């Protein structure tokens, strides 16, 4: 849960780098919360909770994606690949799954080395 809260606290922080673990833990917890809210919305017969949650987490989701791309030494503009049907999201998943570049890059020092 700490990884999720770290991303939410850094609400619109597009600079810097995000480790794989930070990105994927945020993705996992965000997906579980979305599923739970969808179930509640279905039972209640509304779509308000899921919509409000999705809008509230839109910017943090984009920001952590951009920071994850920075960690693989890519510009955040690569996130626009999501607009290409089928192929774009697959390429992004491959980028997000890659390990960090060991050395510092234009986007900052390696976040793994900061932990040591």
* Ramachandran sector of residue 110 (left: φ over 0; alpha: ψ -120 to 50; beta: rest): beta
Does residue 116 carry a pLDDT above 50? Answer: no
Does the predicted model carry a pTM greater than 0.85?
yes
Q: What is the pLDDT of residue 115?
A: 59
Q: Write out the residue range of the structural domain in which residue 70 sits.
A: 2-115
Does residue 9 carry a pLDDT above 60? Answer: yes
For residue 65, with 0-12 CB atoms within 10 Å meaning exposed, 13-18 middle and 19 or more buried, which class applies? buried
Q: What is the number of domains present in the chain?
A: 1
């Amino acid at each position: 849960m700490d990884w999720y809260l770290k991303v939410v606290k850094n609400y619109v922080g597009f600079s810097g780098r995000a480790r794989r673990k930070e990105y994927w833990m945020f993705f996992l917890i965000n997906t579980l919360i979305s599923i739970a809210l969808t179930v509640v919305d279905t039972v209640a017969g509304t779509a308000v909770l899921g919509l409000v949650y999705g809008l509230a987490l839109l910017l943090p989701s984009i920001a952590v994606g951009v920071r994850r791309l920075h960690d693989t030494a890519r510009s955040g503009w690569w996130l626009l690949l999501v607009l290409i049907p089928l192929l774009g999201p697959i390429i992004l998943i491959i980028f997000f799954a890659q390990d960090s570049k060991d050395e510092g890059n234009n986007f900052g020092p390696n976040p793994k080395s900061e932990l040591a």
